[in-house]
Homo-oligomer: A and B are copies of this chain.
Amino acid sequence: MALRWTLVLLLMQLSGYFRSGTCGKVLVWPTEYSHWMNMKTILDKLVQRGHEVTVLASSASVAIDPSKTSAIKFEVFPTSLSKDDVDSSFKKLFYTATYNPSKDTFWSRVSQMEEIMWGFSEVVRKVCKDAVLNKKLMTKLQESKFDVLLGDAIGFCSELVAEILKIPLVYSLRFSPGSVLEKNGGGLLLPPSYVPVVTSELSDQMSFIERVKNMIYALYYEFWFQGYNVKKWDQLYLEALGRSTTVYESMKKADMWLIRNYWDFDFPHPFLPNFDFIGGHHCKPAKPLPKEMEDFVQSSGENGVVVFSLGSIINNITEERANVIASALAQIPQKVLWRFDGKKPDTLGPNTRLYKWLPQNDILGHPKTKAFITHGGANGIYEAIYHGVPMVGIPLFADQPDNVAHMKAKGAAVRVDFNTLSSTDLLNALKTVINDPMYKENAMKLSRIHHDQPMKPLDRAIFWIEFVMRHKGAKHLRVAAHDLTWFQYHSLDVIGFLLACVATAIFIFTKCCLFFWRMFATAGKKEKRE
């Protein structure tokens, strides 16, 4: 009987497999750090479904380690940068942003973001140039006849490679500063009256003053934000394609945008048919913890545990900050698992254990977990949503303050400030999210929304990538807005023409009235004279 069931399950899996059509060849233009982790979830699933996946990685790539993933192919190309160049330049930017004491205004955060994006964009541009101007590499890729290119829209270049290879393009994207890519490349129209600008820390319920702020932020990103240094990119595209074009023109050709967000995390806003929201696609049910960790967790009894991580980039913090934090953690009745790679803080309590690495998803999914102290990276927040864990957010840079603001607006998190927090602040925040049942309830509500979707986020991501391979694109989802200039899109030419028509009509009407009035007036005078 057991054998028969296995056979049935196997048949079911196979039927699902064949329904998707034949297997394809996927080329990937990856991005570093957590972006690569996200992308890899999709790639692993593609490999599992029998597709051939090739990652186009530079010799300076930091997070992408070909030796670690045997099922994925790697096409490593040489670049003038070294791994150290890339890693140190990124980390320097992140650390500067983290320890910026004036980080509590929108403008300081945006200037950090601009600095990070500028540095990031410069590194990617050098790597991109080394790839696309490498004729041998491009010829080899062209001959390999890939069915689709999968790229993270945040970094540019993937659309250029897709254009050179003349293959369809699918984007994955968490967000871009001020949604400049989603708007200018994707065609989204996001009214600033109710769609808070990314990094604004505003919610969708805004007061008049908040709407004024949001409008200014939107205008700033639209007209003054230079983090991508788009003009330099345009030059590279011109050089590589041999014709006048822009980055945004290339982006408009993307077949699908898989946005790593959903309405459990984001506030509802307008979107287009070639956008799908796959936020939390990397989340999985929790696996059992390593024995030592499980024993520690179980030793917490009724009080449960608190999980603390500042993400994959920041493993270490200053001694002073570490002591403040450790002293707060020492005062709670819960046991604490802290991902920390620095000197053991003097104030560390017996209830707190330090780990160089944590199986974060597995601990967040543990029934004893009561709260999650997080830097507010999207991946961590999604794992907390998936498992319904309330949060204390200690945002550091980029979108993190905004992510935490979203969770706060949805009633599932309390925010504290990394640079200024005292032990009492952290202690109070922890007590609030653990003891006030509202936070757990709201976290569970988000979890229910996340789990109750027509189709799982990862399955949808795979569906659309396979769709694009099957149909050689998804042109039927592409809005005609992409074929219009900005003034045509906003109907400025049409409005101008109609106003001119109205003005002409009024002018002619007035002239006629005046003419007849004069005629009658003259006739009247004549009559009087007679």
- The residues of A with any CB-CB pair to B shorter than 8 Å are 4, 8, 188-189, 191-194, 204-206, 208, 211-212, 215-216, 263-264, 267-274, 448-449, 452, 454-455, 459-460, 463-464, 467, 470-471, 476-481, 483-484, 488-491, 493-495, 497-498
Q: How far is the CB of A269 from chain B (nearest CB, A)?
A: 7
B270 touches A480 (CB 8 A): no
Set of chain B residues within 8 Å of A191, measured between Cβ atoms: 189, 481, 489-491
CB closest chain-B residue, reference A216: B498
B263 touches A476 (CB 8 A): yes
Q: How far is the CB of A385 from chain B (nearest CB, A)?
A: 12
Set of chain B residues within 8 Å of A189, measured between Cβ atoms: 189, 191, 270
Q: Name 8 A/B residue pairs within 8 A (Cβ), A-sorted.
A: A189-B189, A189-B270, A191-B481, A191-B491, A193-B484, A194-B484, A208-B493, A454-B460
Set of chain B residues within 8 Å of A464, measured between Cβ atoms: 454
Count this chain's copies in the assembly: 2
B471 touches A452 (CB 8 A): yes
Q: How far is the CB of A486 from chain B (nearest CB, A)?
A: 10
The answer for the CA separation of A497 and B193 in the assembled complex, in Å, is 14
Q: How far is the CB of A253 from chain B (nearest CB, A)?
A: 15
Q: How far is the CB of A517 from chain B (nearest CB, A)?
A: 31
Q: How far is the CB of A353 from chain B (nearest CB, A)?
A: 36
Cross-chain contact of A212 among B206, B269, B494 (Cβ < 8 A): B494
CB closest chain-B residue, reference A463: B454
Set of chain B residues within 8 Å of A467, measured between Cβ atoms: 452
CB closest chain-B residue, reference A264: B476
Closest 3 CB pairs of A and B: A204-B480, A194-B480, A268-B273
A268 touches B479 (CB 8 A): yes
Point out which of A188, A191, A272, A274 has the most chain B C-beta atoms below 10 A from its C-beta. A191
Set of chain B residues within 8 Å of A212, measured between Cβ atoms: 494, 497-498
B268 touches A263 (CB 8 A): no
With A263-B477, A497-B212 in contact, do A489 and B194 touch (Cβ < 8 Å)? yes
A479 touches B263 (CB 8 A): no
A205 touches B480 (CB 8 A): yes
Q: How far is the CB of A364 from chain B (nearest CB, A)?
A: 21
CB closest chain-B residue, reference A273: B268
A270 touches B267 (CB 8 A): no
Set of chain B residues within 8 Å of A269, measured between Cβ atoms: 272-273, 479
